[in-house]
Structure 1
Amino acid sequence: MIIDANMYWLPQKVFTDKEIQNEFLRSAPRKFGTKMYMETSENHIEGAGKIVVERPVGYPGLNYDSTDYRIDKQLNDLKEQRIDTGILKLPGCQEWLSLELCRLFNDEMAKHIAESQGHLKGLAVVPPYADEETLYELERAISDLGLSGIQLSAHYGSYYLDDEQFRPFFQKINELKVPVYVHHTPVPVDYQSIYQYDNLRRTLGRNIDQVTAVGREIFSGMFEELPNLKLIHSMMGGGIHTYMNALFPEDSGNGRFDDRSKLFKKYFQENIFFEMSHAQPWGKIQLETAVKLIDSDKIIYGSSYPVKNSWFTEGSAFVQELAITEKEKNELLFKTADTLYNLHLCESN
């Protein structure tokens, strides 16, 4: 069995309902250098088109095509690639959504999943603040709508998730024991040196965002207070496993580094998980190394569907070809995601 734990989705209403579309486009924080707009062709058909996100303005980082999120297309693609279950999430725009838009998206996500007859699951979206209405929507999305976890951005504005303003929100998640998927944003907080070049902005920038996010979460000590919190980071956490020995030194020497390595490793092992976002670009050796360093029960497979067709159509086969055990392959492709998101798919098949 295979779970694709990173499939992007937007409700069709952002393309077909002009009022909702305008509200969605207005949600992008232009005053902080993010621009979102609808792009159409000369042969534009009502309800068709592409939404483009530029960050900074003039440098496209995300785009959403209306044809990519139809349920008939998603189910057909899953069937063709023999993917049993896809987990849906928003494609990077959750950083700036209002609570009102989150409610709408959660309702539409639940309807979309219901139409899939069990082939799709989904993650709820709420702003990471602990006011009464937000916490109500958090519980409603999980308990009433049956969504499988929460999705957050790696940072909100210039604040990463270890910031104290988010702590009351995470206290509630810690209480509910709900898994949290942490998605990279179009660029990290500090991006001035990388934004001019596409590959630096789009790839290195997102890895920097993830490494920074994971590192801050571990070194902040937030997991001491929130032991039940499970954060699943995209982009393999920016490849943070390659820095493990340097970040968690056994002997820092001369007091230059914080050498509480056992404590930091404990957080890394118990509270942080990773989603590939996507298999092939990492390369065979790099993924095999990740399995050796951080174990297959901490990594889940995701294709970033529908960003690049080959990542989806060839991604699971790429994992099958890794020089790792069959048990490890099963954990990467199915078991770890099934356990983290409490899907219980083994029991239902």
Structure 2
Amino acid sequence: MTKVIDANMHWLPDTLFTDETLREAMMDCIPRQHGIHVRMEAIPGKNLNQIIIEEPKGFVNINYAEGQYNIESQLEDMDKAGIDQAVFRIPVWQEWLNLETSKRINDGLADYISRSNGRFTALAVAPPWGDKATLTEVERCIDQLGFKGVQLACKYGDIYLDDEAFFPYFEFLNDRKLPAVVHHTPLPVDYGSILSFNNQRRQYGRCIAQGTAVGRELFSGLFDRFPELRLSHSMLGGGFFAFVDMLVPQPRHSYGDAVDRFDTGQSKLREQLRKNLFFDISGPPQWGKKQLECAIEVLGEDNILYGASYPIRKDWFFDGVPTVQALDISDGAKTKILGGNAQKLFGI
């Protein structure tokens, strides 16, 4: 029987809405000087609160709802959805957390997974600058708390992960062969043209951010410098499968164009796409059958991880496993995607 591992389940402290000190510490990490606005307010018609993040003011990009990060309800939902094990990360906040708040998150995650009877594992969060204090915290999470890798945002402020600012951190991950999950950010660096419409901003914007990140990582030579670095991107890398043959072309044809306009100047891109880059589905039903089958064909059955972005939408979660099982792919591919690839990547 196929073991199902959800490689993209979200966790926040269940005390976030009741512990004012914790909430203020996390909210204070958000750089409001960059036009990001955060507040807590009641959910209309319900006796619950939500944390809302806008960027820029007036454009909602994130809602964190009270009551969705409870261990009993999560385990119950996992049983209903047919999920055996979950790999936890925090939703989006990776970009903003400082080291001290990261430590509180990691401690909370460690306590949470200790109460799950082996159903949960987690990824360490820390500012990705590679200083001694940060690396010490990541080592604590891996060596003492039993975490299976680290979690990153696809960009930090205006810089993506190919920037040399991240090299000390990636050198550490490369040397220790630790996988890194790259969560999407609410918006790409340049977002002015997609603000007006809710789904274009909240869904397509995340895809632009992820697709940009994947392309920059490939074309920048990041994996030449760090050949053991493995990055797993959410939302199928922003639908990167649709652009692979365009951006990473097959060997040159024989017709003899006067100018090779799309030469990448690199020969290892296809190899690195298979060895260094992985992609979680982040909600199978939202993609649709044909798109998922295309993604698997293009990116490879060894490079796609199951993930449903719980608790964003319950249909993504409860209908996710049946969506994959209904795909016209081999049983072996289904086994890999539903759990085998996550077991291999994270050493579960």
* TM-score interval for Structure 1 and Structure 2 normalised by the shorter chain: over 0.9
Deviations 1:142-163 (CA, angstroms, capped at 9, x unpaired): 1111111111000000000000
Deviations 1:72-101 (CA, angstroms, capped at 9, x unpaired): 111111122221001111010110111010
Percent sequence identity over matched residues? 42
- Which residue is 2:27 aligned to? 25
- 2:64 paired with 1:64: yes
**C-alpha contact 2:150 2:180 (8 A) present in aligned 1:** yes
- Which residue is 2:92 aligned to? 92
* Whole-angstrom CA distance in 1 between matches of 2:44 and 2:307: 35
**C-alpha contact 1:236 1:277 (8 A) present in aligned 2:** yes
**C-alpha contact 2:43 2:50 (8 A) present in aligned 1:** no
**C-alpha contact 2:274 2:300 (8 A) present in aligned 1:** no
- Which residue is 2:108 aligned to? 108
- 2:280 paired with 1:269: no
RMSD over equivalenced CA pairs, Å: 1.5
- Which residue is 1:8 aligned to? 10
- Which residue is 1:313 aligned to? 318
SS at match of 2:152: strand
SS at match of 2:302: helix
* Whole-angstrom CA distance in 2 between matches of 1:305 and 1:175: 32
* Whole-angstrom CA distance in 2 between matches of 1:218 and 1:228: 14
- Which residue is 2:42 aligned to? 40
SS at match of 1:190: coil
Q: CA deviation at 1:14?
A: 2.0
SS at match of 2:279: strand
- 2:125 paired with 1:120: no
Q: Measured at CA, do residues 234 and 41 of structure 1 come closer, stay the same or move farther in structure 2, by a change above 3 Å?
A: closer
Q: CA deviation at 1:44?
A: 8.5
**C-alpha contact 2:8 2:282 (8 A) present in aligned 1:** yes
Supply the AA of the counterpart residue of 1:126: A
Deviations 1:276-334 (CA, angstroms, capped at 9, x unpaired): 11111111011111111121110011111111111100011010000011001111101
- 2:303 paired with 1:303: no
* Whole-angstrom CA distance in 1 between matches of 2:103 and 2:237: 28
Q: CA deviation at 1:256?
A: 2.7
**C-alpha contact 1:185 1:206 (8 A) present in aligned 2:** yes
By relative contact order (CA 8 Å, sep 6+), the higher-ranking structure is 2
**C-alpha contact 2:36 2:54 (8 A) present in aligned 1:** yes
- 2:187 paired with 1:187: yes
Deviations 1:151-192 (CA, angstroms, capped at 9, x unpaired): 100000000000001111100010111110001100001101
- Which residue is 1:347 aligned to? none
Runs of 4+ off more than 4 Å: 41-45
Q: CA deviation at 1:341?
A: 0.7
**C-alpha contact 2:14 2:67 (8 A) present in aligned 1:** no
Flag structure 2 segments of 5+ consecutive residues without an equivalent. none
Supply the AA of the counterpart residue of 2:67: T
Q: What are the equivalent positions in structure 2 for 1:140-289 lying under 5 Å apart?
A: 140-249=140-249, 250-251=251-252, 253=257, 254-260=259-265, 262-289=267-294
**C-alpha contact 2:219 2:264 (8 A) present in aligned 1:** no
SS at match of 2:215: helix
**C-alpha contact 1:248 1:261 (8 A) present in aligned 2:** no
**C-alpha contact 1:171 1:226 (8 A) present in aligned 2:** yes
**C-alpha contact 1:278 1:311 (8 A) present in aligned 2:** yes
Supply the AA of the counterpart residue of 2:142: I
**C-alpha contact 1:248 1:260 (8 A) present in aligned 2:** no
Flag structure 1 segments of 5+ consecutive residues without an equivalent. 344-349
Q: CA deviation at 1:255?
A: 4.1
* Whole-angstrom CA distance in 2 between matches of 1:258 and 1:264: 12
* Whole-angstrom CA distance in 2 between matches of 1:64 and 1:21: 12
Q: CA deviation at 1:41?
A: 5.4
Supply the AA of the counterpart residue of 1:145: L
**C-alpha contact 1:4 1:333 (8 A) present in aligned 2:** yes
Q: CA deviation at 1:127?
A: 0.5
Q: Measured at CA, do residues 165 and 261 of structure 1 come closer, stay the same or move farther in structure 2, by a change above 3 Å?
A: closer
* Whole-angstrom CA distance in 1 between matches of 2:58 and 2:156: 21
**C-alpha contact 2:182 2:232 (8 A) present in aligned 1:** yes
Deviations 1:232-280 (CA, angstroms, capped at 9, x unpaired): 0001011112211211233395143334453111211110000011111
**C-alpha contact 2:82 2:321 (8 A) present in aligned 1:** no
